[in-house]
Amino acid sequence: MKAQRARKRFGQHFLRDRHVIGQIIGAMALHDSDHVVEIGPGQGALTRELAARLPDFEAVELDRDLVSHLQSEIPSGKMTLHQADALKFDFCRLIKSNQKLRLVGNLPYNISTPLLFHLLEQAGCIEDMLFMLQKEVVQRLCAPPGKKDYGRLSVMIQYRCRVEKLFDVAPGAFSPPPRVDSSVVRLIPRSAPPVEVKDEATLAHVVRAAFASRRKTLRNNMKGLLSGDDMTALGIDPIRRAETLSLAEFAALSNAIE
C-alpha cells in the first residue's frame, strides 16, 4: 500500500533517518516482556523496528488512512492498533497483570504539550516515556529555576518525572522536514515526588496562576490565593517572579493554601 502523505492538520513529520531510529531503539533497551505502546506511529518507520524486536506491542494512531497503511505493513498478531486521539485516550486501560507501560513516539509538535499533561495524569500506569519532541519543548522540560525556558511545564513534569535529554535530531531526519530542531527525551515517572505536597490539584493551580503572566510578580499573579504577607511568612519574597521559584517553594505555596 502506498504510504500516506503527511497532513498539516495533524502536525505530521515522519521520521526517516535509520541512524536516529536505531538510536531510539537502543535507548529503549527493549526486553521481550516489555509492554510497549507507540504513540503516533505514522508511516511505521519506528513501528517496523518494534515489530522486529518484540513479540507484540500496541500503538495509538488518529489518522484513519495511516491505520490502514500500518495494518498492511506490520505482520498480523504483532501489533494491537488503536485508532484514537492520544489526547483523549485512556492509556491505563491497556494495563495487564499490573505491568506498567513503556511509551514511545515521535509526537506531533502541535499537541506535544497538552499530550504531556494528559500523560502526567496517568503517570501511575507508566514505567517510562521516550519521546521525540521539538527541541524547545525538551529545553523547557529540563530547565532549572532562573532560566528563561523554566515554566509551568518544567515544574509539573519535574514534580512527577525524572527528565533525561538524550540527543538532538536535525530537520533532515524527517519527511517533510520541520522548521525546527528536535530532541529525544526520556521521562521516568517518580515512585514518590521529590517534595511533599498536600494536594496535587492545588499545586497545579498554584503553578498555573504563578506563570499566568511571566512579567508580573507573584503578588500580582496570585491574588485571591495568597497574600504578600502569606508569602513573606514562607520566606518567599512576593515581588519575585515565578521563574525564580524552586519546586520546593511552589510546594510551600501550595501547602499554605491547603
Q: Closest Cα to residue 56, out of 39, 80, 40?
A: 80
pLDDT higher than 70, residue 256: yes
pLDDT at site 161? 98
Q: Which set of grid coordinates corresponds to residue 183?
A: 530532541
pLDDT higher than 90, residue 159: yes
pLDDT higher than 60, residue 109: yes
Give percent of the chain with pLDDT exceeding 90: 84
pLDDT higher than 90, residue 105: yes
* Confidence grade of residue 12 (pLDDT, cut at 50, 70, 90): low
The answer to whether the CB of 185 falls within 8 A of the CB of 24 is no
Q: Rounded mean pLDDT of 212-232?
A: 95
Round the average pLDDT of the chain to a whole number and report it: 93
All structural domains of the chain: 10-189 (3.40.50.150), 200-253 (1.10.8.100)
Q: Rounded mean pLDDT of 198-212?
A: 96
**In this structure, which amino acid lies at residue 254?**
S
**In this structure, which amino acid lies at residue 182?**
S
pLDDT higher than 70, residue 197: yes
**Distance spanning both ends of the chain, measured CA to CA:** 57
Say how far apart CA 144 and CA 23 lie, in whole Å.
26
What's the pTM?
0.91
Comparing 8-12, 30-34, 238-242, 246-250, the range with the smallest average pLDDT is 8-12
pLDDT at site 20? 96
* Confidence grade of residue 8 (pLDDT, cut at 50, 70, 90): very low
Say how far apart CA 25 and CA 49 lie, in whole Å.
8
Say how far apart CA 92 and CA 108 lie, in whole Å.
21
